[in-house]
């Protein structure tokens, strides 16, 4: 099982029919598909160049944020290749605490960084462990998408 399975299953475990989930747009298809399979409602968070391809949390209407149960973020991002810094992740932690939202951070591309750049883990931020989980994948790091490892 890979991180895609975890991303799908967290929705099945956490989202009830009618619950709202905040998802990046564009984003990896499982973010939205898993919410829909669980009977949840999607609220897309546009990733725009004008905001460094980060969701604008202030643009989420308070009535949506109050109903949201989960938010998915993905940095380093696929497909826009953006990275998030500690300031953004701190804003996400504060938002999650204010509205009681579970943050699911897909960090599958964390090892694909060059020239000394080290992507920030959401879990580095104080308070992140109280509001979120992080999904990591070996398949991207070792170019083994679809492969499964096992030992006897």
Give me the residue spans of the domains in the chain. Answer: 3-141
Q: Where are the alpha helices (DSSP H) in the chain?
A: 3-14, 29-37, 62-67, 86-99, 128-131, 138-141
| pLDDT at residue number 92 | 98
pLDDT at 136 over 90: no
Report d(CA 114, CA 125) in Å as an integer: 22
pTM assigned to the model? 0.89
For helices 3-14 and 29-37, angle between their N-to-C axes, nearest 10 degrees: 30
Q: Which residues touch 41 (CB under 8 Å, ≥6 apart)?
A: 18, 19, 20, 21, 35
109 — pLDDT class (breaks 50, 70, 90): confident
pLDDT in tens, 21-53: 999 999 999 999 999 999 999 999 999 999 999
CATH topology classification for 3-141: 3.40.640
- Per the CB < 8 A criterion, the answer to whether 15 and 35 are in contact is yes
- pLDDT, the chain, mean: 89
């Amino acid at each position: 099982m890979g991180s895609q399975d975890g991303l799908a299953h967290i929705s099945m475990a956490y989202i009830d029919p009618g619950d709202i989930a905040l998802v990046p747009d564009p984003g990896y298809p499982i973010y939205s598909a898993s919410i829909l399979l669980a009977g949840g409602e999607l609220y897309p968070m546009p990733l725009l160049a004008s905001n460094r391809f980060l969701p604008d949390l202030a643009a989420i209407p308070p009535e949506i944020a109050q109903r949201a149960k989960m938010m998915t973020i993905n940095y380093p991002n696929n497909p826009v290749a953006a990275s998030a810094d500690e300031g953004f992740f701190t804003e996400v932690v504060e938002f999650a605490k204010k509205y009681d939202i579970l943050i699911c951070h897909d960090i599958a591309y964390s090892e694909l960084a060059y020239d000394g750049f080290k992507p920030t883990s959401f879990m580095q931020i104080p308070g992140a462990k109280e509001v979120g989980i992080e999904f990591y994948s070996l398949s991207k790091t070792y170019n083994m998408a679809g492969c499964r490892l096992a030992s006897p």
